[in-house]
Amino acid sequence: YSLDHFVIPDHYEEDVSSILIPHGVIMDRIKKLARMIVDDSPGPLVVCCVLKGGHQYFADLVDEIKKLRRINGTSVQLSLEFIRVKSYMNDTSSGGVKISLTDAELQEFKGKNLLIVEDIIDTGATMVKLLDRLALVEPKSVRVTSLLIKKTPRSNGYIPDYVGFAIPDAFVVGYALDYNEYFRDLDHICVISVSCI
């Protein structure tokens, strides 16, 4: 999409090379995803936001699920949880993720229907490790939605249950995705200029 057709804040104008997914398109897709998730819902859901990048998708997805109640009376009870997840970078063999919840807090997920909300799947390593950790506390069910999945040869083959968009193998920012903590406050999903990296 041409940059001229959309509003980019002045403080990012120089740094954005193209708009990959405009905000309006993201919002439309989320309406559809909310419907699919509600239709498949096995009962009350514990919606787990993977921070920080997942927060905008999480907020808009929860909003859309609530709107569906007003439109067609679907009622799925939601409880909201927030997890910060960090992958161990130099860990080849065993692999692991550092999760911000204590073991006691994780135990709360036992027997619950979880919906994990993530911003992007790249290699898939982080999500596979997170799911391994969560399986230990025996939730009733676990489903994953990621707004984005990258088409990359580095993928481990993991595909979430609900995907917003499959994107080319480029580094993207905006809609809560960051580069060194910048660009989270940009509405559109964008590719940044080479000069910026």
Q: Which residues are catalytic?
A: 122
- Cβ closest to Mg ion, residue 41 vs residue 56: 56
What are the DSSP calls for 81-99, one per residue? EEEEEEE-TT--SS--EEE
Distances (CA, A) of 188 to 86, 156, 157: 25, 27, 27
Q: Kindly write out the interface string for residues 8-37 of this chain, putting x where it contacts ligand 5GP by CB under 6 A and - elsewhere.
A: ------------------------------
- Cβ closest to ligand 5GP, residue 33 vs residue 125: 125
Min dist CB 21 to ligand 5GP, Å, is 12
Residue length of the chain: 197
**Is 120 near ligand 5GP (CB under 6 A)?**
yes
**Is 53 near ligand 5GP (CB under 6 A)?**
yes
Q: Which long-range contacts (CB under 8 A, 24 or more apart) does 161-164 make?
A: 162/33, 162/36, 162/37, 163/121, 164/26, 164/29, 164/30, 164/33, 164/57
Min dist CB 99 to ligand 5GP, Å, is 13
From its phi and psi, is residue 95 left (phi > 0), alpha (psi between -120 and 50) or beta?
left
**Is 119 near Mg ion (CB under 5 A)?**
yes
Q: In angstroms, rounded to a whole number, what is the distance separating the alpha carbons of residues 28 and 77?
A: 23
- Cβ closest to ligand 5GP, residue 64 vs residue 119: 119
Instruction: Candidates 53, 124, 160, 174: give the one binding Mg ion (CB under 5 A).
Output: 53
Q: Which residues of this chain interact with ligand 5GP, rule CB under 6 A?
A: 53, 87, 118-126, 171-173, 177-179
